[in-house]
Amino acid sequence: MKPIQVGLLGIGTVGSGVFNVLRRNQEEIQRRAGRGIEIGMVADLDTARAQSVVGSGVKVVKDAREVIANPDIDIVVELIGGYGIARELMLAAIAAGKHVVTANKALLAVHGTEIFAAAHQRGVMVAFEAAVAGGIPIIKSLREGLTANRIEWIAGIINGTTNFILSEMRDKGLDFDVVLKEAQRLGYAEADPTFDIEGVDAAHKATIMSAIAFGIPVQFDKAYVEGITKLAAQDIRYAEQLGYRIKLLGITKRATKGIELRVHPSLVPARRLIANVEGAMNAVVVQGDAVGTTLHYGKGAGSEPTASAVIADLVDITRLHTADAAHRVPHLAFQPDQMSSEAVLPMDEVVTSYYLRLRVADEAGVLAKVTGLCADAGVSIDAVLQREAGEGERQTDLIILTHNVREGTMNEVIGRMQALPTVLAPIVRIRKEELA
Amino acid sequence: MKPIQVGLLGIGTVGSGVFNVLRRNQEEIQRRAGRGIEIGMVADLDTARAQSVVGSGVKVVKDAREVIANPDIDIVVELIGGYGIARELMLAAIAAGKHVVTANKALLAVHGTEIFAAAHQRGVMVAFEAAVAGGIPIIKSLREGLTANRIEWIAGIINGTTNFILSEMRDKGLDFDVVLKEAQRLGYAEADPTFDIEGVDAAHKATIMSAIAFGIPVQFDKAYVEGITKLAAQDIRYAEQLGYRIKLLGITKRATKGIELRVHPSLVPARRLIANVEGAMNAVVVQGDAVGTTLHYGKGAGSEPTASAVIADLVDITRLHTADAAHRVPHLAFQPDQMSSEAVLPMDEVVTSYYLRLRVADEAGVLAKVTGLCADAGVSIDAVLQREAGEGERQTDLIILTHNVREGTMNEVIGRMQALPTVLAPIVRIRKEELA
């Protein structure tokens, strides 16, 4: 089957990510989607730069309307941003019968009602996973994964710039202005950071989640929006003393009299997972009456994390286009005729790191012998902890953390250690995963 | 449209949850799904108990085959568990053209290839969100939300019983045997806990995630499985000293020579979010090449969390049955003609708690005056932190944490505080969210 054809409107940071990931992972994506997904045409004002990103094989034009008018294009990806021309183009794409994928939270939070109505009427999809919390599939979780629940509230760290600034303020005890300048220097904050630091970006996202959670129209104009510009370092310190962290939260909640929709700095108990989300990361907590608390964590911005969400939407649409209902999502994600025969490795072939505890005689040279066995086999040691023997004790514990090594090799070394006369009990071996 | 008819095979803990949540949230679920979802028939060996759960309106039978043979039943939910009769019934339901929803990880990890092939051929869906990590929509995230990615690895705390035991061992410094007995007493571990504590349950779930992540068949027989029964309290302590926690992880990873699939206790750096997942909670970390790290956290077991996943599958199937492709998932989760007009509350009506910082004169009676104003307005105080004035200082900071109160009321009280002559600077007010 011919690959589904995607037209890209705007190929900046996110657009490049979409192009690169689609190309790099094209084989796996096709095995999942049941059909290839291809960027067929790109519109960007800077055609030279755009052409250099996509190479000579893809047609680049200046006028987005050419992409929309192209009958070969099945899906239009809008990555221009803003409320103005993006709205016109999106409505034009819908009118032309194209499905639309967008990362434009501002547009949907303000003009969503008009756009969704147009799409519904025309029988096309407007998909927007990338509009909220970047690569975290939170829209899918809310719209599909948690449909059993009466949602009680949602609270999220949904702006990476402000979370980075707050993390730095706390870590270094600095005031807002100082850290903002640093964030701008590092590229974590834009030259004009207003939308981020005043909470507007987070409010756009909270508005969208609020609509999905409670079945109300998007109504950004009713959101309460307060940023982090007035936060003082001393309040972060006092909060810490009281067991809290300060985070910019987007909150929407079902209250007795109506729906709460608000963005503002909030003290959060330090022991909550979400209080420990640091730097530019995002996390959304959803409270449902059946499921209880769930938390969804990941990168909320950046080229490829956002592209991950855009492409997930492209796969969704491709699957709907291409398969009948019963075969839309393959049971094991990949199409049944596209399964891999790659082998599951025997445990000896697994490479990981290890914690070893040896009960050893408390005498000179033991450590040297044990670590010598490691060195001989090329097992590199990360850390050693030797417990001091108690008064009158003749034995002690020797703890070793290794770097990565083949399990088969590790087992051989453990066998040799066990044979040492100074090792007095069976060696305890627990694997160690850095998960980084 | 007539509600879609669901037949329940087995109505124990999870089945009761499915029945209760479907009934309690039926209006919202219908607004999302575009059609009602109804339990039409139940099979359970204990018909009397089953009937007492569902009431007299639902037909209860002893023989599951009666449910499968009923032409009015569209979807069969298998909640019997195990590899034996459950497999036969699932294959019979598929052969009868019914969609199947199941929480049976053991069956899918061992016989998944046979079952998925049968379903594919017959054109029905076998949905199993509830089979892995209970209420966390991790199957959906992997199959649909992260399809752009080449998955690098997955590591999860996917067995609540063992995580509870490990949390207790660490908190209380107790050995495995002692904590297991306590967990059994509290109902966190079953009378025969073998499948949990030996890692078998986690390996079933890891096997399923492995297949979905890497497009390989389910192959539980190739999984390496090691439980927590041999863990000693002292290793947990030593790990702690070295900056690690010990968790039972289900891991699957793309290595150079093949796929790793393994369950065993693992040291995890204490600063990772997943190291801080305590008690019976579950969490799955997914590393994708585009999205980076995502973490998915929630309740991995229990009546209603598991029901949440079962019902999400029922909604998915209902939407596919009922809507054309373009209208399958409504843009805002709820059907366009089912939107609510519930109002977004003005900020004055929001109820939350507050952190206040007052710059006050360091003199007797200030605290009494300030807290008096709170008491007069019914604002209840949670904590007070009064900084000691430095040598020669005439001013100090007074920090107040309040309990929940209407924001309008709080603002009035702040206004009165601000008017006190002993309050020397604008009061800082930051909202506080317990998120519990």
With a CB cutoff of 8 Å and minimum separation 6, the contacts of A39 are A6, A7, A8, A18, A19, A22, A54, A58
**Residue A81 Rama label (left phi>0; alpha psi -120 to 50; beta):** left
Q: At what angle do helices B13-24 and B47-54 cross, to 10 degrees?
A: 20
Find where tokens 């939300």 sit: B145
B423 known member of a binding site = no
Q: Which SS3 state, helix, strand or coil, does residue A235 take?
A: helix
User: Of A90, A116, A146, A315, which to mutate for an interface test with B (greatest number of B Cβ within 10 Å)?
Assistant: A146
Closest CB to A148 among B255, B311, B332: B311
A4-134+304-338 placed in CATH 3.40.50.720: yes
Beta bridge partners of B265: B248
End-to-end CA distance of chain A: 39
In angstroms, what CA-CA distances link B145 with A337, B184, B420? 21, 37, 55
Residue A172 main-chain phi, psi, to 5 deg: -110, 0
Beta bridge partners of A401: A355, A383
Which chain A residues touch B343 with a CB distance below 8 Å?
222, 257-259
Residues of B labelled catalytic: 205
Architecture of domain B347-432: 2-Layer Sandwich (3.30)
Q: Decide if A292 and B135 are in contact by the 8 Å CB cutoff.
A: yes
End-to-end CA distance of chain B: 39
A338 to chain B, closest Cα gap in Å: 8
Which chain A residues touch B119 with a CB distance below 8 Å?
331
Find where tokens 């309460």 sit: A224
Which chain A residues touch B150 with a CB distance below 8 Å?
24-25, 28
Structure tokens at A209: 């989640």
> How do A381-386 and A259-269 pair as beta strands?
unpaired
> Per the residue annotation, which of A98, A205, A253, A299 is the catalytic one?
A205
Closest CB to A321 among B25, B265, B325: B325
Alpha helices in A187-302 (DSSP H): 194-197, 200-214, 233-241
Residue A412 main-chain phi, psi, to 5 deg: -65, -45
Structure tokens at A318: 């491709």
User: What is the C-alpha to C-alpha distance for residues A290 and B304, in angstroms, rounded to an integer?
Assistant: 5
Q: Can you say which residues of A are annotated as belonging to the binding site for NADP(+)?
A: 9-16
Architecture of domain A138-299: 2-Layer Sandwich (3.30)
User: Per-residue pLDDT tens for A191-239?
Assistant: 999 999 999 999 999 999 999 999 999 999 999 999 999 999 999 999 9
Which chain B residues touch A269 with a CB distance below 8 Å?
434-436
Are the C-beta atoms of residues B248 and B199 closer than 8 Å to each other? yes
Structure tokens at A12: 């900046």
Q: Can you say which residues of A are annotated as belonging to the binding site for L-homoserine?
A: 190
Which chain A residues touch B140 with a CB distance below 8 Å?
137, 140-141, 144-145
> How do A126-127 and A381-386 pair as beta strands?
unpaired
In angstroms, what CA-CA distances link A73 with A81, A100, B388? 21, 11, 69
Are the C-beta atoms of residues B381 and B402 closer than 8 Å to each other? yes
Q: Can you say which residues of A are annotated as belonging to the binding site for NADPH?
A: 105
Q: Decide if B289 and A430 are in contact by the 8 Å CB cutoff.
A: no
ipTM value? 0.96
Q: Which SS3 state, helix, strand or coil, does residue A304 take?
A: helix
Q: What is the pLDDT along chain B (436 residues), one digit of tens a residue?
A: 899 999 999 999 999 999 999 999 999 999 999 999 999 999 999 999 999 999 999 999 999 999 999 999 999 999 999 999 999 999 999 999 999 999 999 999 999 999 999 999 999 999 999 999 999 999 999 999 999 999 999 999 999 999 999 999 999 999 999 999 999 999 889 999 999 999 999 999 999 999 999 999 999 999 999 999 999 999 999 999 999 999 999 999 999 999 999 999 999 999 999 999 999 999 999 999 999 999 999 999 999 999 999 999 999 999 998 888 888 899 999 999 999 999 999 999 999 999 999 999 999 899 999 999 999 999 999 999 998 888 888 999 999 999 999 999 999 999 999 999 999 999 999 999 999 8
User: Is A205 among the catalytic positions?
Assistant: yes
Q: Decide if A112 and B344 are in contact by the 8 Å CB cutoff.
A: no
User: What is the C-alpha to C-alpha distance for residues A103 and B76, in angstroms, rounded to an integer?
Assistant: 38
Low pLDDT (below 70) residues in chain A: none
B370 known member of a binding site = no
B15 known member of a binding site = yes
Confidence at residue A325, expressed as pLDDT on a 0 to 100 scale: 80
Q: Decide if B333 and A216 are in contact by the 8 Å CB cutoff.
A: no
B12 to chain A, closest Cα gap in Å: 16
Q: Decide if B146 and A293 are in contact by the 8 Å CB cutoff.
A: no
Are the C-beta atoms of residues B226 and B246 closer than 8 Å to each other? no
* A172 CB neighbour count, 10 Å cutoff: 12
Structure tokens at A28: 């796996």
B16 known member of a binding site = yes
Confidence at residue B77, expressed as pLDDT on a 0 to 100 scale: 98
User: What is the C-alpha to C-alpha distance for residues B347 and B341, in angstroms, rounded to an integer?
Assistant: 18
Domain ranges, ordered by start, for chain B: 4-134+304-338, 138-299, 347-432
Nearest Cα to B155, choosing from B274, B269, B255? Answer: B274
Structure tokens at A113: 């009602």
B9 known member of a binding site = yes
With a CB cutoff of 8 Å and minimum separation 6, the contacts of A224 are A261, A262, A263, A264, B347, B350
| Cβ pairs A/B, distance under 8 A | 441
**Residue A146 Rama label (left phi>0; alpha psi -120 to 50; beta):** alpha
Residue of B nearest to A297 (CA): B295
Closest CB to A268 among B336, B397, B435: B435
Structure tokens at A348: 């000896």
SS (H, E, C) chain B: CCCEEEEEECCCHHHHHHHHHHHHCHHHHHHHHCCCEEEEEEECCCHHHHHHHHCCCCEEECCHHHHHHCCCCCEEEECCCCCCHHHHHHHHHHHCCCEEEECCHHHHHHHHHHHHHHHHHHCCCEECHHHCCCCCCHHHHHHHHCCCCCEEEEEEECCHHHHHHHHHHHHHCCCHHHHHHHHHHHCCCCCCCHHHHCCHHHHHHHHHHHHHHHCCCCCHHHCEECCCCCCCHHHHHHHHHCCEEEEEEEEEEECCCCEEEEEEEEEEECCCHHHHCCCCEEEEEEEECCCEEEEEEEECCCHHHHHHHHHHHHHHHHHHHHCCHHHCCCCCCCCHHHCCCCCECCHHHCEEEEEEEEEEECCCCHHHHHHHHHHHCCCCEEEEEECCCCCCCCEEEEEEEECCEEHHHHHHHHHHHHHCCCECCCCEEEEECCCC
User: What is the C-alpha to C-alpha distance for residues B296 and B18, in angstroms, rounded to an integer?
Assistant: 22
